Amino acid sequence: MRRRRRSKPHLNHERWLVSYADFITLMFALFVVLFATSQADKAKQAEVSHAIDQAFRTLGLFETAKVDAHSQAVAISPDNAVAPVDIVLGNELAVSPAVKQDLNRLEHELQGKLSNQIAQHVVALHIGRDGLVISLREAGFYDSGSAVPHPSSMKSLDEIARILKASPYDIRIEGHTDNVPIHTKQFDSNWELSTARATWLARLLIERDHFRPARLSASGYAEYHPVASNATPEGRSENRRVDIIVLPHITPSVPVAAINLPEVEKAMMKMDESNLNIRPASAR
């Protein structure tokens, strides 16, 4: 009998297709996940963009969109209108075009009335990130270490007050000094000197020029907000200043009868006219 020959085992040369199919399946799953993630991000970006757009329109920074066949305008009721406020973007002031144009008008008017003081470098004007800044240099308005302006500077202060009183915007008065320490009988530090200059000028605007107290605020920064280097006499001279900042904020009018200042504030508001040289507007 013949023996049957054992057949050679059959080699499958297509087993690589299994690994290849697994690889393709994994790649497909990966791209599906990436695609789904990208679509989710777009949805979130659209939501964030819409929220920012709504906020800016509410603040009055962008004009309200017009209604057309494909979009619906953002409705803002006149009764619920929000006064424009400032948004700080770097060193630029971002406000509505109308507010910016009004601040430019105020700057131009002040430049005309204070041209001599500007030429003498005792007054500087510019629009900064907070609003229109009117810088009163110490050299033209104050004696060293004093919180009371020169009597000769009252005419310039009157011009500034007259123009600003006609505007509706809030005003912040800031006192600044150089970095040379001060220690006198009246002021123990630059903090006290800078604050005294700011509050004195705020009280002047209230009592002499009849500004509404709600429009005003005062603060002292000592030497910590310089505009020039304190390493030179010229730089220190620029840093010794009082800044009157016209803010793009509008505080609603409050009836005079409704203003009830605390007794402490009333006491602080009483000035010695003989020492401070303040006269009522009717007596000028």
Whether 162 shows a pLDDT value over 60: the answer reads yes
> For the domain with range 83-283, which CATH number is right: 1.20.1640.10, 3.40.50.450, 3.40.50.11440, 3.30.1330.60?
3.30.1330.60
pLDDT value, residue 9 = 61
Rounded CA separation 278/41 (Å): 63
In the chain, domain spans: 16-64, 83-283
pLDDT tens per residue across span 203-249: 999 999 999 999 999 999 999 999 999 999 999 999 999 999 999 98
Report in angstroms the alpha-carbon separations of 65 from 54, 72, 103, 165.
11, 8, 25, 34
Average of per-residue pLDDT across 180-204: 95
Grouping H, G, I as helix, E, B as strand and the rest as coil, residue 243 is strand
pLDDT value, residue 249 = 86
pLDDT value, residue 40 = 58
pTM, entire model: 0.60
First to last CA, the chain: 144
Helix, strand, coil in percent for the chain, rounding step 5: 45, 15, 40
Rounded CA separation 200/198 (Å): 6
